[in-house]
Amino acid sequence: MRILVTGAAGYIGSALVRALAAHEVIGTDQSAPAAVLGNIAYPQFARSLVTPEIDTVFHLASLVSGGAEQNFELGTKVNLDATRDLLEACRLAGHCPKFVFASSIAVYSGVDEIDDATPPAPRLSYGAQKLVCEVLIDDYTRRGYIDGRALRLPTVMVRPGSANTAVSGWASAIIREPLAGRDYICPVRPDTRMACISLRRVVDAFVRMSEIAGAQLGSKRTVLLTGIPVSAEQMWNAAKPHATGKVRFQPDPAIQPIMDRIPKSTFSQRAQALGLRPSASIEEIVREYEEAAIAHHR
């Protein structure tokens, strides 16, 4: 099976490429080690990626929440226009490939507890762009151009390396930095909660979604992933036994109001029925990150 992964050099994309090692994977990103270098914000490049030989597209490339809010034009090009260009490439390829899309719980706002019946109501451009893409995927699927499916992702932890522009980036940093021996100033209150899931569970969910029969999904192709509610204080407490760095809480007046509006937990019976498993606890998430870090340095 020949598979295309956009955002293949990213946090989730690189892990997904490793999980798909048994298949022929064509990865694309703006930076190495992707096999095909390029910017999907350019329509000609995006439309060149889907050839008749591609069986499955995993579309993960995006400009994350903070970046899309700061630069509306770029966010629209990367998150919305590039997705439509990929969908058009699939349509013109003429063989209805599977199309697996990384959406986000940023499509919700103002509700603490999210479930399958919660209506989307984005309050960030990033969430609005993801929601439009979900609608397009349903329509392209209805017309037989793709066999689409999308996952609404909670905050995925623990992101290695330097922080990106996601407003939830602190949730990884509060674990990653003290474990690396660096002190960290957390820009939210200790009681600030968010819905969380580990990288391993998300990669498993993407692979599983690519394997599920379209008939099992029906006409609504977007599935919410369950994210466990974890506070900033609980994150720090889970990392503390193995940390040499310290954490100090200093709420940022630009970040705290945004975090106060985002979902605190998500629960999906549909995801459960489809075999998409959540993380068991924040301790499990931290343990998976530490295990991955050890394996990387061997």
Beta strands in 36-133 (DSSP E): 36-37, 56-59, 98-104, 113-114
The neighbour count for residue 212, using CB atoms within 10 Å, is 16
CATH of domain 2-296: 3.40.50.720
Residue 76 contacts by C-beta under 8 Å, 6 or more apart in sequence?
A: 125, 129
Predicted local confidence at residue 64, as pLDDT: 84
C-beta of residue 265 within 8 angstroms of C-beta of residue 193:
yes
Q: What is the pLDDT of residues 149-190, one digit of tens each?
A: 999 999 999 998 765 557 788 999 999 999 999 999 999 999
Residue spans of the domains in the chain: they are 2-296
Predicted local confidence at residue 78, as pLDDT: 95
Predicted local confidence at residue 121, as pLDDT: 95
Predicted local confidence at residue 164, as pLDDT: 57
The CA angle 163-83-120, to the nearest 5 degrees, is 75
Q: What is the pLDDT of residues 224-282, one digit of tens each?
A: 999 999 999 999 999 999 999 999 999 999 999 989 988 999 999 999 999 999 999 99
Query: Which neighbouring-strand residues pair with 26?
Result: 4
What is the pTM (predicted TM-score) of this model? 0.93
Q: What is the pLDDT of residues 131-147, one digit of tens each?
A: 999 999 999 999 999 99
Known catalytic residues are: 126
Predicted local confidence at residue 293, as pLDDT: 78
Handedness of CA 180, 186, 192, 197 (dihedral sign): negative
Q: What is the pLDDT of residues 78-128, one digit of tens each?
A: 999 999 999 999 999 999 999 999 999 999 988 999 999 999 999 889 999
Predicted local confidence at residue 162, as pLDDT: 66
